[in-house]
Amino acid sequence: MTSPLQPGNPATGTAERGPRILVAGVGNMFLRDDGFGPEVARRLAAATGPAAPGVLAVDYGIRGMHLAYDLVAGVDVLVIVDTVPPDAAPEVGSASGAAPGSIRVLRVRPGDLDGAASLDPHGMDPVAVLGRLRSLGGELPLTFVVGCVPADLTEGIGLTGPVAAAVPRALAAVEELITQHTPV
């Protein structure tokens, strides 16, 4: 059987090469708005289903090692959906510190991962996961973060109003990245 991240047709054994785009929803759904990434990934998977060739949306939650090994298997484009601090890449001309529910699309380059923390096999620190890819035998793919500024990261289940309202905007941003990186 072929992995969803390794294109191919198991019936014929032929390789079907196209862009392999992994949308990784990360975060802890038991910490209110930290469940943003998993929520976006679940909605995208439900909307696209198996009909989106070359695109896989996965709710990784806090399973950093699972994401790391899927990346080692090889993807062309990685879109991480997660919460971001309010001061992450503020818009030009705006005050530092974006409002809860603000969406940011960031490009991750290898230099951004210098000094990455050590990989915790029981947790999810995307910077640590990406920073340790090479030591696991993988390479950093073209990587983006679609991030949302959280309102509440305390214990509890369910997104706050501003973050729940941001989910459709995040889906649109992810779909735009998929469109930009899928050949016509």
Q: Which residues pair with 24 in a beta bridge?
A: 58, 80
Cβ contacts of 1 within 8 Å, gap of 6 or more: 10
In the chain, domain spans: 21-88+99-180
Determine the pLDDT at residue 13: 39
Per-residue pLDDT of the chain (184 residues; tens, 9 = 90+): 233 444 433 333 334 555 599 999 999 999 999 999 999 999 998 887 655 678 999 999 988 888 988 999 889 999 999 999 887 544 444 445 689 999 999 998 888 777 666 655 656 677 878 888 888 888 889 999 999 999 999 999 999 999 999 999 999 999 999 999 987 6
Determine the pLDDT at residue 128: 78
pTM of the predicted model as reported, rounded to 2 decimal places: 0.82
CATH number of 21-88+99-180, picked from 3.40.50.1450, 3.40.1400.10, 3.30.70.20, 3.60.15.10: 3.40.50.1450
Terminal CA-CA length for the chain: 28
* DSSP conformational letter for 166: H
Rounded to an integer, what distance in angstroms lies between the CA atom of residue 93 and that of residue 3? 45
Determine the pLDDT at residue 14: 39
CB burial of 17-32 (b: ≥16 within 10 Å; e: otherwise) equals: eebbbbbbbbbbbebb
Determine the pLDDT at residue 97: 62
Determine the pLDDT at residue 121: 60
